A and B are shown apart, each in its own frame.
Chain A
Amino acid sequence: MADVRPVTFRTVRRYLFSTDHRIVGIQFLMLSMAMALCGGALMALMRMNLAWPGIKWPLLGAIFPHAMQSGIMKPEFYLAIMTMHGTIMVFFVISLALVSGLGNLIIPLQTGARGMAFPVLSMLSFWTVVAASIVLLAGFAVEGGASAAGWTSYPPLSAVRSAVPGSNWGQTLWIAAMALFIASFTMGAVNFIATILDERAKGMSLFRMPLLMWSYLVASALGVLAFPALFAAVTLLICDRHFGTSFYLPSGLFFGKRLLANEGGTPLLWQHLFWFLGHPEVYILAMPAWGVVLDLIPVFTRKPVFGYRVTVHCFSAIAVLSLIVWGHHMYVSGMSPYAGEFFAIASLAITVPSTMIGVNMLASLWGGAIRFRLPMLFAIAAIVMFGTGGFGGMFLGNATSDIQLHDTYFVVGHFHLLIGGMTLMATFAALHYWFPKMFGRMMDERLGRVHFWLTFPTFYFIFLLMQFDGLSGMPRRYYSWEKYDYLAIARGHQVYISVLAFLLGAAQLIWVVNFFRSIWKGRVAEANPWNAATLEWQEGAGEVHRWPYDYSVPGAANDCTPQTERTG
Chain B
Amino acid sequence: MSTHTTRNWLRIALIGFVAAALAACAPASPAASVETAAETTVSEPVQLRIGVMGDESTLTPYTYVTGYPGWNLLLLQYDTLYQTDVDGMAQPWLARGLSVSENGLTVTIDLRDDVSWHDGEPFSAGDVKFTVDYFKAHTQSRFTRALAPVESAEVAGEHQVVLTLTAPTPLFELSVLADVPIMPEHIWANIEDPAAHAFESASNVGTGPYRLVEYRPDQYYRFTANPEYFAGAPAVAEITAIIYADDTGGLTALQTGEADMLARPVLPEQIALLSASRQINLAQGALFTTDMLTYDMTKFPFDRAEVRRAVSLAIDRQELIDTVYLGAATPGSIGWIHPASPFFNEAVVTEYDPDQARALLDEAGIIDSDGDGIREAGGAPLKVEFLTPSGNALRLRTAEVVSEMLRNEIGMDAAVAVVEQATWEDAVWPGFDVAQGRNYDMAMWGWSAPVQANAVRITSLIHSDPAIGSLNLTGYASETADALAEALNVAVDPDEFADLLDQVQVQIATDLPFIMLHYPDGAYAYRADVYDGWAFMAGQGIFHKLSFLPESARP
A and B bind: no
